[in-house]
Structure 1
Amino acid sequence: MEIKQTALAGTTESSDIQITLSKGNGSIDIDLTSDVKKQFGNQIIKVITETLKKFQITDVKVRAVDKGALDCVIQARTIAAAARALNTADQIKWEVLQ
């Protein structure tokens, strides 16, 4: 699916992650800022990538600012940003997450 508009979800508060999605350059490009990037960066990127692929988003630029979010929070913020970026916030396809 194609990103229709730049969208943001989440905060930069402790235990949260701020995800910004914008039009990409042909791939999933993730720019991650995190104090725990060395230990958990690969897992954070994996959760974001897998969630985007479930929405069939393969052409996107992702800016992620992590403040110690758990996987479930990362997934929820990615879903919210994707729904906003696709302009489908009122019709989220929850079944893709199974």
Structure 2
Amino acid sequence: MSYLVEDDPAKRRFEILVDDALAGFTAYRPRGEALVFTHTEVDERYRGMGVGEALVRGTLDQLRERGDRLVPKCPFVAAFIRRHPEYANLVVAES
């Protein structure tokens, strides 16, 4: 399986493609200097295969490259960051 994570600013979400098929997304809304992540969804055909983890990791890696920060309102994104503290410095406090 090959993964590709890309930002779709028009839809305000990062999407993951698995073998060129849309397998999931993590939605955000811009707020000031940060992106507020609100919801993550993985197509049931791809659940239990690490697609959600690959999606969030790819998203956070791209945010880091761009110098962006985030507010993890989505429980899945928040839990991923707790398990992977190397991404904690991307988180801004809720204001």
Query: Under a length normalisation based on structure 1, what TM-score does the superposition of the two structures give?
Result: 0.35
Query: Under a length normalisation based on structure 2, what TM-score does the superposition of the two structures give?
Result: 0.36
